[in-house]
Amino acid sequence: MSIPNIGYVKLHRPGRLTVILAIVVLVLIIVFYLAIVMYGIATGLAMFLAFILSPFVILAFDLPSRRRVSLFGKMPEGFAAQLKELKPAWLLKQSGKGCKNWRRVELGLPRTIADSSLQQKLESISIPDGLIEPEQILTSKPGSMLGCVFGVLFSLFMAFAMISATRFPLFSPLIGWTIASFLLFNAIQLVLGLPMIHRNRKLPELLRRIGRRRMISRAFVVGPGWVKFGNKVWRADRDMLLIRRVGYRLASSEIDCMFAGPESRRRLTFSGVGDEEFQLLFGAWNVDEIRLEFIDSEIS
């Protein structure tokens, strides 16, 4: 029985527990404060301890949650059971060591495992037939519409304030215009950081790099059945690509990916399933004919 290239499993979605816990902690602080006021306990000290301890409580739950791949509780079946046996812990940072006792092929797992909620969108991505040329792709740190609106308004307001302040003799025009320039650049970056803008590969590379917050980052190189970053290579005949959603964000806004294998792991984020950089990666990784001889091509 042949192993399919792509499998779909309900994966753990980090960030949800953190949001719920943060709300619960906030409610408890309010209730605690009201109880203190009513019963006349030392309000200042108690509130200070509550605010100091609450971030550590949230962090203690958040970090293990972000490393988790499989769902809590339920007995896994099919690919989910095999994935749990493989134990590929998710990275908290961008890169990490390889997985011990790597047995992806022996366990019968596909080269790609994606969250089942992404199945319909991923199946609409075209997988190339035949030979494909290696290409460079950029990951991203996608922004949000709400953050963009508030960030742009704040940056423009502060830039106007800095420029206006240069009219006063005690304020250096050079400092004012320098700060204003940084604020205006930040406003442009926030607008370009919206997924709907920078995920199109037709946008000039400089603007895409600004929007993706990858001004000086090295690009990944994708080829038929392999991905290369520096001297690290992930192969579809041995390694695995994991794709999951993040918190309560839409699949069209942000997805979290990770390459895992016996040699190394690498985490990548993209601006949703519609990100053309991600679609290029997904299509190249899942081609039927793996051509490793192109790994040392000029572009890589």
Query: Greater confidence, 91 or 112?
Result: 112
Q: What percent of the chain has pLDDT over 90?
A: 28
pLDDT value of position 15: 67
pLDDT tens-digit map of 15-36? 666 666 667 666 766 666 666 6
Q: What is the pLDDT of residue 21?
A: 63
Q: State the Cα–Cα distance between residues 164 and 169, nearest whole angstrom.
A: 12
Mean per-residue pLDDT, 220-248: 91
Determine contact, residues 223/291, Cβ cutoff 8 Å.
yes
Mean pLDDT value of segment 82-105: 86
pLDDT digits (tens, 9 = 90+) for 159-216: 888 888 888 877 788 888 898 899 999 888 888 888 778 888 888 888 888 888 888 8
Q: Which residues share a beta bridge with 124?
A: none
Share of the chain above pLDDT 70, in %: 79
**Domain locations along the chain:** 145-192
User: Letter for the amino acid at 161?
Assistant: A
Q: What is the residue whose two structure tokens read 């988790």?
A: 68
Q: What is the spatial distance between Cα 158 and Cα 198, in angstroms, rounded to a whole number?
A: 25
**Termini Cα distance of the chain:** 35
pLDDT, greater one: 25 or 251: 251
User: Averaged over 62-71, what is the pLDDT?
Assistant: 72
pLDDT at 11: 86
List, in sequence order, the alpha helices (H) in the chain: 16-39, 43-67, 79-86, 119-123, 145-165, 173-192, 195-198, 205-212, 276-285
- For 152, the 3-state DSSP assignment is helix
Q: In this structure, are residues 286 and 236 in contact, taking their beta carbons and an 8 Å threshold?
A: yes
Q: How far apart are CA 289 and CA 132, in angstroms?
A: 10
**Band of residue 234 on the pLDDT scale cut at 50, 70, 90:** very high
Give pLDDT, residue 246: 83
Q: Model-level pTM greater than 0.85?
A: no
Closest by Cα among 65, 67, 52, 58 to 25: 58
Q: Flag whether pLDDT at 273 surpasses 70.
A: yes
Question: What was the pLDDT predicted at 261?
Answer: 92
Mean pLDDT of the chain: 82
**Cα–Cα distance measured from residue 86 to residue 82, given in angstroms and rounded to the nearest whole number:** 6
SS3 259: strand
Give the pLDDT score at 69. Answer: 76
Q: What is the number of alpha carbons within 13 Å of residue 90 lying toward its C-beta?
A: 25
